[in-house]
Structure 1
Amino acid sequence: MNIDLVEVTRGTAIFEGEPDGSVFNPLGSVHGGYAATLLDSACGVAVHSQMRPGQGYSTLELKIAYHRGLSEKSGRVRAEGRIVSMGRRVAFAEATLHHSQNKLCATATSTLLIFDLPR
């Protein structure tokens, strides 16, 4: 999907990508799943950045608002995720997606389950 993890700090994560024809829907615009993947990844890795060794996570809920469509003219897009709150079993994160002219394209909120990995 031509997506890269470009930065991780404690509680935040940034992914970037450049949509091309491989992520177009039948109408010729970028499929909403492309933005959803970037936003879900940014939220998930932000949470992952604060987990202890031996823990895993899974997205329980992802809510996305699309503010502006993406196309081949969008250029490189950037999803920035951050933790809103994190408990022992559940974390809440949010992310924004901007295109190359820094216009807001989508926002997301995410609820993630935190669990111990099998040994």
Structure 2
Amino acid sequence: MPRKFAQDTSELPRIQDVLERTGLQLMQDIVNGEIAGPPIGETLDFWPVLAEDGKVVFEGTPAFKALNPLGTVHGGWYGTILDSCMACAVQTKLRAGQIYTTLEFKVNIIRPIPLGTKVHAIGTVHHAGRSTGIADGEIVGVEDGKLYATGSTTCIIMDGPKL
């Protein structure tokens, strides 16, 4: 699967490019490498590998640079990959011309992810209405099947700017 990350702001999609697509089309274009993904994915070693209506899966492998002073994966890594998969799942429900942002999210870390363990962060939408989207997420080991963390989010859905 292609992994193309934006290296500067000129490689991020223009707002016009975002608004002319549905949220699902935008996510599928990122998964397929037709649009560069945001640089946070390169920084933290995760990438979307599946985008369906109401569901997005990110794959990631925490590296040494994601460790906290105790030598375990920093809680921010869990939070960032969960926020990404859950919010992007909400994005798949957007019509062309709509945008969204995370309003709040919660993370429950169940167990430490061993360094170098490949995981899937699976975001699933439970509600996408006129102004809010609600989703949950799970981080699951690809090879061991263990549940490492769960999360939930509320996103605000808005009409994009008139260009």
TM over 0.5: yes
Aligned position for 2:88: 45
Where 2:113 maps in the other structure, the secondary structure is coil
Aligned position for 2:40: none
Q: Which has the higher strand share?
A: 1
What's the CA shift for 1:69? 1.0
Letter in 2 for 1:89: S
Instruction: Could you tell me which runs of 5 or more consecutive residues in structure 1 were left unpaired when the two chains were aligned.
Output: none
Where 1:28 maps in the other structure, the secondary structure is coil
Q: Is the counterpart of residue 12 in structure 1 residue 61 in structure 2?
A: no
Q: Report runs of 4+ in structure 1 exceeding 3 Å deviation.
A: none
2:132 to 86, 90, 94: 90
What's the CA shift for 1:14? 0.1
Instruction: Could you tell me which runs of 5 or more consecutive residues in structure 2 were left unpaired when the two chains were aligned.
Output: 1-43
Could you state the TM-score of these two structures normalised by the residue count of structure 1?
Answer: 0.95
Q: Is the counterpart of residue 29 in structure 1 residue 88 in structure 2?
A: no
Could you state the TM-score of these two structures normalised by the residue count of structure 2?
Answer: 0.70
Q: Percent identity?
A: 36
CA RMSD for the aligned pairs? 1.0
Q: Distance in 1 between matches of 2:59 and 2:79?
A: 13
Q: Is the counterpart of residue 81 in structure 1 residue 155 in structure 2?
A: no
Q: Which has the higher helix share?
A: 2
Q: Distance in 1 between matches of 2:161 and 2:135?
A: 25
Number of matched pairs: 118
Letter in 2 for 1:77: V
Aligned position for 2:11: none
Letter in 1 for 2:63: D
- Considering only CA atoms, is the larger Rg found in Structure 1 or Structure 2? 2
Letter in 1 for 2:57: I
